[in-house]
């Protein structure tokens, strides 16, 4: 589990010696789960864990190896279940695929063990509420324009899970959370885009009020699947290659070239659909001045991502004036931080 603070990297809130203010934010992502909490000194502690697990045979050797390496696991019948980042690392070592509790931005209907595993990870990230009923705002995807993604069941599952952990659970759209996190200097007006693992979420906001929210059913997992198919490698290997570091503007070798090709295609597809959705909407706000676009999410971490995004943006006539295109200061943490802002505001959101 990765934990960071603006004060001290890798230390918990207790170790820093501060008390928590009420309210927590939780990014429920397809690829990663991220929790954010603000300390009394104004710093923010963020904890991140990969949203995945791997089953290993529960023999004496495996238990000893995992214990020695300090790999987190739980015993489930005759299996050891390795959680989070460690499951991804082991999957790459043994040429296996991790098991994923979520798919395409929602809880996976094909992974029967997914819900209890994701709960274990969330419990480790959030801990207990500072007081009963503490606010916890969690991210949910917006309705998709290119696939069926009814979020009612998904949202209800996580509301119930967080309530049973002692929190007052509130859902917030993922793109809206990006606006809260990144666009304070523009009075929370602009376009927040979250390039997650399963989907891309977009929110157009005017002074905190979401005017238009929707999602697109392609993102990081779509890149991984297609790269794996064309290269003839496991999907987990394609994910590893992508996350290892690729310069999208100057790919090196066949593997990086494939990743760069699918990245550019994804960005083209997203921008084309955003433009079409804006042009077909009857309730778009009229901005008096150009507004910013900010991109976040793990898929946006690739080197030269914003350069490629800007290149593709210049090729089309966008329906609203844009002042600039930027990357979130901490792309992986942006949604969780936005959820934290919403939790602090409470019922005002």
pTM comes to 0.84
Residues of the chain with CATH 3.30.420.40: 184-327
Q: CA angle 297-301-307, nearest 5°?
A: 110
Instruction: Collect all residues with Cβ–Cβ distance below 8 Å to 156 and sequence separation of at least 6.
Output: none
Mean of the pLDDT values across residues 268-293? Answer: 86
CA distance 88 to 152: 29
More confident: 335 or 2: 335
Please state which architecture CATH assigns to domain 184-327.
Answer: 2-Layer Sandwich (3.30)
Q: What is the pLDDT of residue 40?
A: 78
pLDDT at 303 over 80: yes
Residues 26-52 pLDDT 10s: 999 988 999 999 887 878 899 999 898
pLDDT at 348 over 60: no
Number of H helices, E strands in the chain: 11, 16
Considering only 144-148, 225-229, 295-299, which range has the smallest mean pLDDT? Answer: 144-148
Q: What is the pLDDT of residue 73?
A: 77
Q: What is the pLDDT of residue 67?
A: 79
More confident: 8 or 225: 225
Instruction: Say how many C-beta atoms besides its own lie within 10 A of residue 277's C-beta.
Output: 17
Average model confidence (pLDDT) across the chain: 86
Q: CA angle 294-342-141, nearest 5°?
A: 60
Q: What are phi and psi of 131, to 5 degrees?
A: -150, 155
Residues 163-180 pLDDT 10s: 999 999 999 999 999 999
């Amino acid at each position: 589990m990765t934990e960071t603070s603006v004060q001290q990297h890798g230390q918990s809130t207790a170790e820093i010696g501060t008390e928590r203010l009420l309210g927590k934010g939780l990014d429920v992502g397809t690829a990663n789960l991220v929790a954010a909490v603000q300390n009394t000194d104004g710093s923010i502690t963020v904890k991140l864990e990969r949203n995945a697990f791997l089953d290993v045979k529960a023999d004496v050797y495996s238990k000893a190896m995992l214990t020695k390496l300090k790999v987190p696991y739980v015993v489930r019948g005759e299996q050891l279940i390795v959680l989070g980042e460690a499951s991804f690392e082991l999957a790459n070592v043994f040429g296996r695929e991790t098991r994923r509790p979520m798919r395409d931005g929602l809880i996976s209907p094909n992974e029967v063990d997914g819900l209890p595993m994701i709960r274990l990870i969330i419990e480790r990230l959030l801990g207990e509420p500072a007081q009963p009923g503490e606010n916890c705002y969690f991210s949910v995807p917006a309705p998709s324009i290119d696939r069926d993604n009814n979020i009612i069941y998904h949202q209800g599952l996580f509301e119930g899970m967080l309530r049973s952990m002692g929190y007052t659970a509130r859902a917030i759209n993922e793109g809206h959370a990006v606006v809260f996190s990144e666009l304070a200097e523009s009075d929370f007006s602009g376009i927040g885009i979250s390039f997650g693992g399963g989907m891309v979420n977009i929110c157009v906001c005017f002074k905190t009020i979401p005017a238009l929210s929707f999602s697109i059913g392609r993102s990081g997992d779509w890149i991984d699947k297609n790269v794996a198919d064309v290269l003839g490698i496991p999907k987990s290997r394609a994910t590893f290659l992508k996350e290892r570091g690729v310069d999208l503007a100057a790919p090196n070798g066949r593997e990086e070239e494939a990743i760069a090709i699918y990245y550019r295609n994804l960005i083209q597809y997203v921008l084309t659909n955003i433009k079409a959705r804006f042009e077909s909407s009857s309730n778009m706000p009229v901005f008096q001045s150009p507004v910013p676009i900010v991109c976040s999410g793990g898929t946006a971490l690739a080197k030269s991502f914003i350069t490629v995004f800007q290149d593709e943006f210049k090729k089309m006539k966008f329906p609203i004036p844009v002042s600039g295109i930027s990357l979130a200061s901490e792309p992986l943490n942006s949604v969780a931080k936005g959820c934290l802002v919403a939790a602090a505001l409470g019922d005002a959101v």
